[in-house]
């Protein structure tokens, strides 16, 4: 965001309190541009006028170097670029995004985990993954690689572990509890940590629900995880873990991904993302592509048996799905968004290793799915690089974050 000639002089003539009030009314992308050209910014922050209006999600892409990221707001076609503190962002994978923060994992053998605010550059290390009670790290004799053993059974190298063990991480910014969903499902498919803890702690799931979490969200102090069988695990560090059993809808198996999201009306929704390979190709050499979405809402039968019922219209709502915490926004409040649509990125829940490696930008499976006419519009991809894969991000820069 280069300073334009004359801008500093224009804004410097305004009283700081008036300038602060103006900035508080601006969208975040304009707010960031103004702070880059205005030397009064630190004074404005001291007057508590610097919080911008809430923003719809931005896309994060790889930057031009190993230390930079690009941000693309929905209303813009030109991305912003920022420098990220070490370790190099090109050597990390995004496994979650919530409330202005990313959860990243380094591609090195130790699989270092961090909380990162990419706008401010603030980051916090998270406990090592081998502090999970059922994970043992096995260093190689040369100390150049590490293997990980799960529950004294499965053994895999750090690359396989990084790509296929993690499902998603979400963050409660009230107390910075980080919940990690993973594929290991012997009653411990969810775990959590906090900045004051030195290890990960597993949530224990009841014996009669032996399924793993495929997506997780945070809402009002509780975490809600969707399982591979369509049930919902409800948990928090301060409460007993419960499982909400639902009648399984069709389509839970096969080349698909599922998400859980809280609607603007407060309903829990499940979204089924169907993928298929391109026509007449070897599915082992090519990526699956998104072709359709289905949305379900929890309903009650007369006998109080809860089940998933398909929803054909989201009204003014639009969903943002991918490796981020699943989100919902109003197209009325954010006119840059399309109503009754699903914005999606590629995500890591794929069927072959090729999708986790570098590829051509035009091959990335990301776009906007319209529930009304079932069409897909491709999203702008303003980068020549695809690692780390893009992710949705809700930006925050105020002091509370």
pLDDT in tens, the chain (401 residues): 444 445 545 555 656 566 555 555 555 655 555 544 444 444 444 444 445 566 889 999 999 999 999 989 887 888 888 888 888 888 899 999 998 899 999 988 889 999 998 888 889 999 998 898 888 888 877 666 788 888 877 788 888 888 778 889 999 978 889 999 988 767 788 999 987 899 999 998 886 666 789 999 999 999 999 998 889 999 999 888 999 988 777 655 555 689 999 999 999 999 999 887 766 554 444 567 889 999 999 988 766 778 899 999 999 999 999 999 999 999 999 999 999 999 999 876 543 444 445 567 877 889 999 999 999 999 989 888 888 899 999 987 654 44
Peptide bond into 87 cis (omega under 30): yes
- What 8-state DSSP symbol labels residue 364? -
- Integer Cα distance of 106 and 87 in angstroms: 8
- Integer Cα distance of 301 and 230 in angstroms: 17
| Site of tokens 């592509």 | 289
- Integer Cα distance of 72 and 220 in angstroms: 29
Whole-model pTM?
0.85
Spans of all domains in the chain = 1-53, 54-393
pLDDT of residue 254: 53
Question: What is the number of other CB atoms lying within 10 angstroms of the CB of residue 133?
Answer: 12
Which runs of E-coded beta strand occur in 74-212? 80-83, 92-98, 101-106, 113-116, 123-125, 135-139, 146-150, 154-157, 166-172, 177-182, 190-193, 201-203
Task: Show the tokens assigned to 304.
Answer: 């109080």
CATH fit for domain 54-393, picks 1.10.238, 3.30.2000, 2.120.10, 2.60.120: 2.120.10
How far is C-alpha 117 from the geometric centre of its chain's CA atoms? 13
- Integer Cα distance of 231 and 228 in angstroms: 8
Residues whose CB falls within 8 Å of the CB of residue 71, separated by 6 or more in sequence, listed in order: 58, 59, 60, 61, 79, 80, 81, 82, 118, 119, 393, 395
- Integer Cα distance of 191 and 132 in angstroms: 8
* 322 neighbors 347 (Cβ within 8 angstroms): yes
């Amino acid at each position: 965001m280069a300073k334009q000639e004359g801008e500093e002089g224009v804004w410097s003539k305004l009283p700081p309190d008036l300038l602060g009030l103006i900035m508080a009314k601006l969208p975040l992308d304009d707010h960031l541009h103004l702070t880059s050209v205005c030397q009064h910014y630190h004074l404005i922050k001291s007057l508590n006028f610097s919080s911008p209006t809430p923003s719809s999600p931005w896309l994060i892409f790889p930057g031009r170097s190993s230390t930079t990221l690009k941000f693309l707001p929905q209303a813009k076609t030109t991305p912003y670029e920022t420098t990220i503190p070490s370790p190099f962002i090109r050597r990390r994978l995004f496994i979650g995004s919530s409330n202005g923060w990313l959860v990243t994992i380094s591609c090195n053998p130790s699989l270092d985990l961090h909380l990162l605010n990419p706008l401010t550059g603030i980051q916090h290390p998270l406990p090592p993954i081998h502090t999970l009670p059922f994970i043992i790290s096995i260093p190689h004799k040369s100390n150049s690689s590490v293997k990980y053993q799960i529950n004294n059974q499965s053994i895999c190298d750090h690359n396989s572990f990084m790509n296929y063990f993690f499902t998603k991480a979400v963050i409660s910014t009230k107390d910075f509890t980080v919940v990690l969903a993973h594929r290991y499902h012997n009653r411990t498919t969810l775990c959590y940590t906090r900045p004051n803890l030195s290890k990960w702690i597993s949530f224990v799931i009841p014996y009669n629900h032996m399924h793993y979490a495929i997506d997780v969200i945070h809402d009002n102090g509780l975490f809600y995880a969707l399982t591979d069988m369509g049930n919902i695990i409800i948990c928090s560090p301060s409460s007993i873990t419960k499982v909400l059993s639902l009648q399984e809808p069709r389509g839970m198996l096969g080349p698909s991904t599922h998400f859980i999201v809280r609607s603007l009306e407060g309903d829990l929704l499940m979204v089924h993302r169907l993928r298929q390979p391109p026509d007449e190709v070897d599915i082992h050499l090519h990526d699956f592509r998104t072709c359709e979405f289905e949305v379900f809402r929890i309903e009650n039968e007369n006998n109080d048996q809860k089940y998933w019922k398909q929803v054909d219209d989201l009204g003014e709502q639009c969903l943002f799905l991918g490796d981020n915490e699943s989100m919902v926004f109003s197209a009325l409040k954010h006119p840059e968004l399309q109503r009754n649509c699903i914005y999606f990125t590629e995500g890591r829940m794929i069927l072959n290793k090729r999708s986790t490696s570098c590829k051509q930008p035009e091959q990335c499976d990301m776009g906007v799915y319209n529930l009304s006419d079932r069409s897909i519009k491709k999203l702008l991809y303003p980068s020549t690089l695809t690692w780390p894969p893009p992710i949705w991000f809700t930006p925050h820069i105020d002091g509370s974050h």
